Structure 1
Amino acid sequence: MMEHRKNPRIKASFKLLIYRKGVPVLTGRMVNVSSGGLYLRAPDNGLEINQRVEVEFQYPDAGPMERCRVPAIVVHKESSGLGLEAEDGHSRVAFSDMVSRLKKEDRLTLLPLWQFC
């Protein structure tokens, strides 16, 4: 089956933190990212389709204190992960910047960048 996506995906593998109403609720591992969203592998977590969340991540070439948190919407849910869509222009810019940095670094798979407490 042929996929018809607006934005090409780039493989990535590093940890994300998901917030709901400002409270961290989930850690997961990004599988891929595009300028329109991302997919993360995470255990079943109680989040539902159309729920608004915030995604916190660190850019691949950033220092340990340089994190980005942007709004997203849960658009796909499986027992093993979630598809998140950029909720606004700020999110799209952040995801696009992630894609650009990954391409620039010429690294399609990243090691974990930080550990959560």
Structure 2
Amino acid sequence: MDSSYLKKSLNEWKEEILDLLAEIDKEYEKVKQELMVYNYKFSITKQVSQSTVNEEIIRTIREIYHKPFEEQFNKLKSEIKDLEEKKRVFGMFVDKIDKVQGKDEQQPNPEYIAQIS
């Protein structure tokens, strides 16, 4: 196999993965900002309800704000973990491609590339 063709193909694949990683990073930043918002909302409603003595008002605060904010906060935390996992996994692709290309320059033997996987 022509090593320049291999290098070109791997570089194209790497660019595709880097584009995907850029999209994941955008989504991550968006979810991270929302998580911060809901962290504050959840924390504020918790503090307010703890500072309130009227049980009816506390119940109302919990129903209207606290529970929905807590649910959204937990959902966003889960989304962040999923996005972090995606970043890690697709980052491994880039690392492996770089590793193969670095070793390929030192040892351009196709059987060597097959051994790596």
TM bucket, shorter chain: under 0.3
Flag the structure with larger Rg: 2
Using the size of structure 2 for normalisation, the TM-score is 0.21
Q: Which has the larger helix fraction?
A: 2
Structure having the larger proportion of residues in strand: 1
Q: Which has the higher contact order (CA 8 A, sep 6+)?
A: 2
